[in-house]
Chains A and B, each alone.
Chain A
Amino acid sequence: MVRINLTVDGARVADDVEPRMLLVHYLREKLGKTGTVVGCDTSNCGACTVHLDGTSVKSCNVLAVQADGGEVTTIEGLAQDGQLHPVQEAFRECHGLQCGYCTPGMIMQSVDLLKDNPNPSEEEIRLGLEGNLCRCTGYHNIVRAVQHAAGAGGTQAAGQTEAVQA
């Protein structure tokens, strides 16, 4: 067992973990943060995306011991004082989900994308989310949600998206 100290969603935690434990399993099974889901287990789908030291990572592809000394933010740490994060709000507003399984990862990656690029084009959004798969194929509304969150304007963005579809 290896001792790790880290901050998760603003709270300091310390634990003894097996070196082989994946960060996603640590978050879910040790800390009970089941908002971060395991999708594919092969680092393809991005459903398990969290932020580690300020950038997005696939938490099934990071060992818990590698997060020692680091700061992790999960989907459960986005809302502040009962207020949804603007990207969460936008996903709700634009119905950026169907079954919802990919949503935690989509939102975490969208937050990361908007941090680096506050006004992304549709292509930049699709490229920025290329590591996140939606098996319902609900990508159009996900892109609209990111545009909405970026302040690109809900109805205008929706019109553009429909024009692309047509």
Chain B
Amino acid sequence: MVVNLKKFTNKPELFTGGHRLCAGCGIATIIRQVLMAVENPVVISNATGCLEVGSSIYPYTSWKVPWIHSAFENSAATISGVETVYQALREEGKVAENIRFIAIGGDGGTYDIGLQALSGALERGHNFTYICYDNEAYMNTGMQRSSASAYGSWTTTTPLGKVGRGKTIRKKPLTDIVVAHRIPYVAQAAPGHWRDLMTKVQKALATEGPSFLNILQPCVPGWRIEPHASMKAAKLAVETCYWPLYEVVDGVYRVTVKPKQKKPLAEYLELQGRFRHLLAEEQQPLLDELQADVDAVWEALLNKSAPAETKTKEE
């Protein structure tokens, strides 16, 4: 499955401009990539969060596809109901189209408050794709820590102070947790590697049964980066192997983008204000520890991965 850029650029935009997301926000980029990649009609459920707030301020909407937001923790449960009724109406012959279903949530709505609803929907085996945009904190309410926040990162509820050193707990391994549900398709993606992301969207939507995409999303105010730096941050996350790009198809792991030369983690961290305190000289032992952790996770991933089918070329 190889995506064709020329084809995409001729498609009408399903997520329109004029939304109120921040300049440089990675979510809008991700959603445009996702919707460019879809081929069948889709219905989307969206958890409360930046994307919902920024795209649906009444009486306006950015969505040119059917879209429902009901609450924060239940994007997966809501789409369960939509998909179930779709099955019933299809059997009645009332719906002819082959519709695909997407549930979207941020890391707050997915790693934390929505984990139960997600787990339930995965276990029940609904035919849907869950997309988590992971910006590593509760950005919609102003950068409070989530279980997805990176070790060492500053957030407004893990502030720096005389005693405070940022978040001192590791990020929850959500992708692994989803893989443990033994669903047919799981992948990690990032918007800087758009071809990889869109290919994964297409694979996920072509899957019969549940599929899950965990997409790292640079956040301009939350990561304390310049608006123009969000795609650079997304690429560095991959190039440093902080956010490995891989997929798990029927339990088989495969790394989809292997950096030619792995960059030091510090290059990713120094771009972002939320990690600036880690770059002080006296923090070197902690930085070494973080680097060692990234290396260990990456090595473990390579060890359990099948050889790459084809080399994914990224611009």
Q: Does A associate with B in a complex?
A: no
Chain B interface (Cβ < 8 Å from any Cβ of A):
none
